[in-house]
Chain A
Amino acid sequence: MADKILKELTLKIWRQKDAKSKGGFETYKIHNISTGSSFLEMLDILNEQLVSENKEPVAFDHDCREGICGTCSLFIDGRAHGPDDDVTTCQLHMRRFNEGATITIEPWRCGAFPVIKDLIVDRGAYEKILQAGGYVSVNTGGVPDGNAIPIAKPAADEAMDAAACIGCGACAATCKNSSAMLFVAAKVSQLALLPQGKIEAARRAKAMVAKMDELGFGNCTNTGACESECPKSISIEHIARLNREFLKAKLKD
């Protein structure tokens, strides 16, 4: 069965020439979009149209287009990664939209994620938090045997759930406080649960939280909006663990 065709859509898109310019919304009409195409393919079609009209195409982030790289972003109709749950923008399809709909597309709005151009924001803040402590220090040398250190199944499972974080920034983007706690919690939790990561757990929790605060992210108020919008459904139980890890580390000082 052929996919339905959406005859006309109105797109209200944030356009901003560069980081320093003042941006604003532009409205575009787009025609004959297959409901089987992805949201980003729809934007590709719009850009083809803009190029043929000698206009500047809309800049947006994308890479793997299969929901694993964490590059795509976009705040679509008031929600991070659009109206679907548990998917990234690249996994969103046009069948989620109705004929004649007006779709509002905005970049992540977060002081720590400044807009570079149009819909692209600088998520370097997350990299800086990772550099502050989101790693395990290991000596180079021979590859250790994968099963040399026994790890309990529940701990391995929970660490794996936390490790699903792709660092897309939807948590801070959707949080009413622009808090990066879910991201930091996922990284701290993932490593604190495993024997290799436990050694540096105290230093890591303190360094990553300090960096998060320094970069101007807000304070978590446990609304749980982040876990609802997280494309990898990371639970805020990891935030509780981060709070424990942080307190433990501070008590040792």
Chain B
Amino acid sequence: MSNFLTSSIGKKMLLSISGLFLIAFLCVHLALNLLLIVDNSGDLFNIGAHFMATNPIIKIVEPILAIGFIFHIVLASILTLQNRSARPIKYDRRNQAGNCTWSSRNMYILGGLVLIFLAIHLWNFWWNIKFPSLGTPLAETTVDGVAMENTYALVSGLFKSSVIYCLLYILGGIFLGLHLTHGFWSAFQSIGFSNQIWRKRLECVAKIFAFIIAAGFSIIPLYFMLGLAN
């Protein structure tokens, strides 16, 4: 496996694998978040959030997830810099509209927008949940006799109080969806899992998956914005 990591294909494979790992995380994250709109009392979401906060396996996965994010971002940055320097003199006129999708050409920009959203998102919720002494401490609640943090109140409070945050979260979901329309199938292509038949299947699944992620995450702030939570 000598110099596999420095080769162009090796780096792309690692980018793909880290991307697929993040996709798996998104599925879990969305499934739990949808509890926000399933149960208006907030009990189901609080149980879910409490489970995630206390489960030992999740505690192990959490730092791995953080590493996965950093790895994906750093690797994408290295690849993008290399790609930019591969063409020292740019074209004067360029017409790419017909030969590839906008998302596929702007993966780094879309990824950057998702990263900005992620920073805001972590500041809103993760920071307050992890460091209650530094941020806004969470209220306590009791579900089925078990005392736990009222995470539902934190999330619903933000979305009920600010239309701007709601719109920001919807936008974040859309950027993520666009990133995935290319990222999902491209990850399989990079690890070599594609051929004439599978390419069509993967591209189709990518579109459906990207739509589910974008719509799934956007529907939550929309739900609170439209006042359906009360």
Contact = CB atoms under 8 A, between A and B. Distances in A.
A109 interface: yes
Q: Which 8 pairs, one residue from A and one from B, show the smallest C-beta to C-beta distance?
A: A78-B95, A244-B192, A228-B99, A218-B86, A177-B83, A243-B192, A178-B86, A223-B100
B9 A179 contact: no
Nearest to B8: A219
A101 interface: no
B83 A178 contact: yes
Contact of B192 (A213, A225, A240): A240
B138 interface: no
Given A174-B99, A219-B79, A222-B182, A75 B190 contact: no
A201 to B, nearest CB: 14
A12 B92 CA distance: 10
Interface string B1-39: 111101111111100000000000000000000000000
Contacts, number: 137
A203 B8 CA distance: 17
B107 to A, nearest CB: 6
A243 B13 contact: yes
A25 B89 CA distance: 13
Given A78-B94, A213-B7, 20 more contacts: A12-B92, A78-B93, A79-B99, A104-B92, A111-B87, A178-B83, A178-B86, A209-B8, A210-B7, A213-B6, A219-B82, A221-B79, A221-B104, A236-B199, A237-B194, A237-B199, A240-B194, A240-B199, A243-B190, A250-B1
B103 to A, nearest CB: 9
A225 B83 contact: no
Interface in A202-253: 209-210, 212-213, 216-225, 228-229, 235-237, 239-244, 246-247, 250-251, 253
11 contacts: A111-B87, A112-B86, A209-B8, A218-B87, A219-B83, A220-B190, A222-B186, A222-B189, A236-B199, A240-B192, A240-B194
B95 A77 contact: yes
B85 A111 contact: yes
B133 interface: no
A68 to B, nearest CB: 23
Interface in A97-152: 104, 106, 109-112
A36 to B, nearest CB: 25
B91 A106 contact: yes
Interface of B: 1-4, 6-13, 79, 82-83, 85-96, 98-101, 104-105, 107, 182, 185-186, 189-196, 199
A209 B9 contact: yes
A237 B1 CA distance: 24
Interface string A152-172: 000000000000000000000
A240 B186 contact: no
B9 A240 contact: no
A198 interface: no
B93 to A, nearest CB: 4
B191 A247 contact: yes
Given A25-B92, A228-B100, A219 B11 contact: yes
A225 B95 contact: no
A65 interface: no
A93 interface: no
Given A79-B95, A219-B12, A247-B192, A111 B104 contact: no
Contacts of B88: 111
Nearest to A244: B192
A78 B93 CA distance: 5
A205 B59 CA distance: 41
Contacts of B7: 209-210, 213, 246
